[in-house]
Structure 1
Amino acid sequence: MPQETAFMADPQPHLAVSLGLLLVLATLWGASYTFIKIAVETIPPITLIATRTLIAGSLILVVLHLRGLRLPLDRRNLGRFFVQACLNSVVPFVLVAWGTQFVDAGLATILNSLTPVFAFLINWGITRHEVVSTRKALGVAAGLVGICLVVGPSALQGASQQLTAQLAIIIAAMAYGAAVTFGRTFRDLDPMMPAAGSLLMGSVILMPVSLIGDRPWTLAPTAASLSALIALSVFSTALAFTLYFYLLKRIGTVGVTAQAYLRVPIGVGIGMVFLGELPQPTAWMGMALVVVSVIAMTLPSRKSRTATV
């Protein structure tokens, strides 16, 4: 009996710590859009992302080294890192960074949070290993209506730079959805390895483009942009990835998915507090539908919840 009592008393503090870390993770990822908004004011998008991936990938590589793990660099894994880099960092990171020049950080957070919807549509329509349920169908519908409410006012005004930027951020969410699907091929590796490998591969792809196109040595970034770049790389990428994989082991996939809908209001709130943004009424309605959509897409089935208890 004493052993059972001790066992029952122990999980509560651990659960509180995990929930606290989950909130930190949601905040780090929610803040990334504000960091990007500040950084891209004086740092071109490609140079910003090339530096972000290099710093973050290097830091995660250090964590792997401290854990006694080595990044596999054979041809097969380098090929997989290349594909994952394109889907999970090069394309979406650059599109979000470019789009955030013309769109509020809060709106970027809302539009880019629909990754679960696009992952579901890709898995259902292409790989065909996703089953359509009433809840997920409603989630897709809510997400698409949410997008229309957020983008709607710009679309009604015809083609504009703001509309193009919003569409770029939506395409980035589609790329993330494809990355989720392709990421299943890394089940044979420690989860932090594809994170480090794809980020470093992303920097290899983008750095030459930055050197040729942006000539970074001619830039004069402000202290605010440089600080935002460092915060984005260290906290919202390297630390966030490390927390994410730690929480995966601690509370499992079901628990970690909670950050997907926590980071939407957090990201919008950070933009309001630090950038003075004030979303339009249609954006608030769109955000509500997007949160409902993400919950519907990520909430585990009753069978899954029972299996994890």
Structure 2
Amino acid sequence: MQTQPDITPANWAMVAILGLVWGATFLFIELALEGITPFWLAAARIGFAAVLTTAVWLWRGGRVFLTEVSAWRMLALAGVINSAIPFMLLSWGQQTVTSGFAGVSMAAVALIVLPLAHLFVPGERLTLRRLLGFGIGFAGVTVLLGGQVFESTGDPLEPFGRLACLGAATCYAVSSIMVRRLPPVDPFGLAALALVFGSLLVIPAAVVVEGAPVMPDGRTLWVVAILGLIPTAGANLLRIFVIRSAGPVFMSLVNYQVPMWSVMLGILILGEPFKPILLLAMALILSGLFISQWGALKRLFGRDATPSS
């Protein structure tokens, strides 16, 4: 029988770092949008990250190890689905929906990944424990975001905005499966080429939708550079390491952490009011994490030395 992925302490650390980094990203996006339009922000992030990761990849020798044409096609499609399309969908969708609905949409990635991984990734079985754990985690995110999830903006395009956010979540889930199913590949090459393929779509799309770019002010350029360096280039590489080693289901745990970190950073950095409901939400999210990953936690702490099959 196929065994489950071997989840190591490094995998847990990378997932925790990704949750924190992507949770903080919302603060920087808010700052960047004061000086740049949404599609050009997505294009600048992906383009800058593509240049950075390609430079590192070439410095390391520029190896890929992919020989089959079908694998290259999958890599190109994964790159587009992983960054370009969801970035554009979210940029457009968040103009008409509440931030609460957008947050829950991203948390839905974990629930979408479960059946896809069960069908297409050996060893990633959909079990009752996993389904229960992810359901409890999703409930925690819903509690965390509160009434914003169900509020309406009144915008006539809101239903389409909601579909766009859910479409972005589906893209992230599908790209995780595709990255996992690729044959052996250099992770730096995978990260670089995925961003290159994404930029080939998002930059022309930004020109078509928003016209030629306008040079933003210095502060906005610094914020965009940070977004390209850390949550796009660096985090994309970490994401690939996690998916390739621990699997897409484990990687999807990040999507429950992001709203939690976003709210906590808002309290700590922006001085937003603390609400006691945050404690209940965190308890649900963490409980869901422990239930869904109980087998991996037992192996991690040596209580079950034999990997389950």
Normalised TM-score (structure 1): 0.72
Provide the secondary structure at the position in 1 that maps to 2:61. coil
Q: Secondary structure at the match of 1:187?
A: coil
CA shift, 1:115, in A, is 2.4
Pick closer, same or farther for the CA change 1:285–1:216 going to 2, 3 Å. Answer: farther
Q: Secondary structure at the match of 2:150?
A: helix
Aligned CA distance change for structure 1 residues 247 and 157 (closer, same or farther; 3 Å)? closer
Q: Is the 8 A contact 2:38 2:92 kept in 1?
A: yes
What does 1:1-309 align with in structure 2 at a 5 Å threshold?
A: 24-71=17-64, 75-101=69-95, 108-109=102-103, 111-124=105-118, 130-146=124-140, 149=143, 150=145, 153=148, 155=150, 157=152, 160=155, 165=161, 168-217=164-213, 219=214, 221-243=216-238, 262-275=257-270, 277=272, 289-298=284-293, 300-301=295-296, 305=300, 306-307=306-307
Deviation by residue 1:68-92 (Cα, 9 ceiling, x = unmatched):
2335697444422321023211222
Root-mean-square deviation over aligned CA pairs: 4.3
Unaligned 5+ residue runs, structure 2? 1-7, 301-305
> Aligned equivalents of 1:253 and 1:130: distance in 2?
8
Q: Which has the higher helix share?
A: 1
1-side partners of 2:167 and 2:274: how far apart?
21
Q: Quick one: structure 1 residues 102 and 268, their matched pair in 2 at CA, closer, same or farther if it must change by over 3 Å?
A: farther
Deviations 1:226-253 (A, max 9, x none): 3221111011121223455678899999
Report sequence identity in percent. Answer: 25
In 2, Cα distance between equivalents of 1:154 and 1:21: 28
Q: Identify the residue that residue 303 of structure 2 maps to in structure 1.
A: none
Distance 2:11 2:180 in 1: 25
CA distance change for structure 1 residues 159 and 301 in 2, over 3 Å: closer, same or farther?
Answer: farther
Query: What stretches of structure 1 of length at least 5 have no aligned partner?
Result: 1-14
Compared with structure 1, are the counterparts of its residues 235 and 141 closer, same or farther at alpha carbon in structure 2 (3 Å cutoff)? closer
Cα 1:289–1:224 change in 2 (3 A) is farther
Distance across 1 between alignment mates of 2:244 and 2:119: 30
- After TM superposition, give the deviation of residue 61 of structure 1 in Å: 1.4
SS of alignment partner, residue 221 of structure 1 = coil
Alpha-carbon distance in structure 2 between the residues aligned to 1:85 and 1:17: 25
Structure 1: which amino acid aligns with 2:25?
S
Once residues 221 and 229 of structure 1 are traced to their aligned partners in structure 2, the CA distance between those partners, rounded to angstroms, is 10
* 1:145–1:250 CA distance, 2 compared to 1 (3 A): closer
SS at match of 2:49: helix
Mean Cα deviation higher: 95-104 or 277-286: 277-286
Aligned-pair distance for 1:213? 2.3
**SS across alignment from 1:43:** coil
Seen in structure 2, the aligned counterparts of structure 1 residues 102 and 43 have a Cα distance that, compared at 3 Å, is: farther
Q: Distance in 2 between matches of 1:28 and 1:237?
A: 10
- Please tell me whether the aligned partners of residues 34 and 105 of structure 1 are also in contact (alpha carbons under 8 angstroms): no
Q: Which amino acid aligns with 2:171?
A: A
Q: Distance in 2 between matches of 1:174 and 1:302?
A: 28
Which secondary structure does the structure 2 equivalent of 1:132 belong to? coil
Asked if the contact 1:264/1:287 (under 8 Å) is kept, the reply is: no
Offset of 1:32 from its aligned partner?
A: 1.8
Deviation at 1:96, TM superposition (A): 2.8
Contact 2:101–2:150 (CA<8 Å) still a contact in 1?
Answer: no
Following TM superposition, by how much is the alpha carbon of 1:56 offset from its aligned partner in structure 2, in angstroms? 0.8
